[in-house]
Amino acid sequence: MELKWLEDFLTLCSTGNFRLAAEQRCVSQPAFSRRIQALEAWVEAPLIDRTHQPSELTEAGILFQQVAQDIVDLAENGKNSVQAQIAEDKEKMRFATLGTLAQIFIPGWLKTLQPFIDANQFSVRTEYGTIADYFAALADNSVDLFISYSVPEDSMQFDTALFTSLKLAEETLVPVASPNDDGTARWWLPDNPTSTIPSLHTLSDASPWPIRNHMEGKYRNLTFKSVYDSSIATTLLAMAVEGFGLAWLPRTLITDELANGQLVRAAEKADDIRVDIRIYRCLNYNEPRVEKFWKVLLQQEKTLPALAGA
């Protein structure tokens, strides 16, 4: 059964005339008649009493008319819904980012861009496991843009022939932990503690590169044990406050906790990690909405305020 057969049948119901119905359906009368016959063969019952002029519905035709109308309406409504969703998705800017940046950076950043952009629909995905997974999503056009802490251009994930990037802001990541009873740091990294340090980060590819690189580089002589890991900064903050381990957290996120003593530094300010927040795109795709958005970012690159410590 084909949808056009039902539409033919409904047109014939309204006109009662094969010639007029065929004209309205933009087919020849013989072709129109064959399609009505095909529908009757599918229903396995005659739908039209051809002995009358104008044509009349048989008893089966009367029963089937509402069924046909319901099917046609359902198909049309479904088509309209899909087309509306596709049109909406075509206008939506699709971001991928780390969970932390989705919380503390993207909302404020988008607000600063609103006077300069036409886009007002966004999706933000944070479910990709590793940085390589995020770049793979860019490469297969699952997302338009990827916002991340800077990724070294000589890393395996970053192909300069395939991806390009812009700097959006700067951020300061501070090593913190809950204090001892006397208010001192539970772990003071410059003292090179020999005991194992519980960490709220892993040394896997899923961990933000700047933190992993810092731990593996400057503190390669220390022993860290991952006790909890999350891409959600507020979760790491809560775990640090509860004393589960050490974490490098965005300075803007922990201002109150440092002020009221819930958290203390685990190293001097010189050990803070200063890192760029960058936005990446794949050069294989140049949808107009992405191009327009990227041009705005190019204009704003030198004027957008740093997230922290600029």
Structural domains in the chain, sorted by start: 3-90 (1.10.10.10), 93-169+276-300 (3.40.190.10), 171-274 (3.40.190.10)
**pLDDT per residue as tens digits for the range 140-151:** 999 999 998 887
Token pair 């013989």 is found at 30
SS3 32: helix
Token pair 């760029």 is found at 276
Range name among 30-34, 135-139, 216-220 with the lowest pLDDT average: 216-220
**Which pLDDT belongs to residue 252?**
86
CA dihedral 292, 297, 303, 305 (to 10 degrees): 130
Single pTM value for the model: 0.63
Alpha-carbon gap, residue 52 to 29, rounded angstroms = 17
Q: Dump the DSSP string for 184-236.
A: SBS--GGG---S-EEESS-SSTTS-HHHHHHHHHTTTTS-EEE----S-HHHH
- Per-residue pLDDT, averaged over 42-71, amounts to 91
**Which pLDDT belongs to residue 310?**
36
Residues 201/211, Cβ–Cβ less than 8 Å: yes
- Per-residue pLDDT, averaged over 89-107, amounts to 84
Alpha-carbon gap, residue 228 to 140, rounded angstroms = 31
Alpha-carbon gap, residue 240 to 165, rounded angstroms = 33
Q: Which residue has the higher pLDDT, 79 or 155?
A: 79
SS3 112: helix
Residue 49 has pLDDT above 70, yes or no: yes
Report residue 265 as tokens: 């530094």
Alpha-carbon gap, residue 48 to 93, rounded angstroms = 52
HSE of 32, CA atoms in CB hemisphere, 13 A = 19
SS3 28: coil
Percent of the chain at pLDDT > 90 equals 53
**Which pLDDT belongs to residue 307?**
42
**pLDDT per residue as tens digits for the range 144-202:** 999 988 876 655 556 778 899 999 998 899 999 999 999 998 999 999 999 999 999 87
Residues 261/152, Cβ–Cβ less than 8 Å: no
**Which pLDDT belongs to residue 103?**
85
Residue 85 has pLDDT above 80, yes or no: no
- The bridge status of strand 264-265 relative to strand 163-177 is antiparallel
- Per-residue pLDDT, averaged over 39-63, amounts to 91
Token pair 């690159």 is found at 301
**Which pLDDT belongs to residue 286?**
85
- The bridge status of strand 48-49 relative to strand 247-250 is unpaired
The phi and psi torsions of 91 (rounded to 5 degrees) equal -90, -10
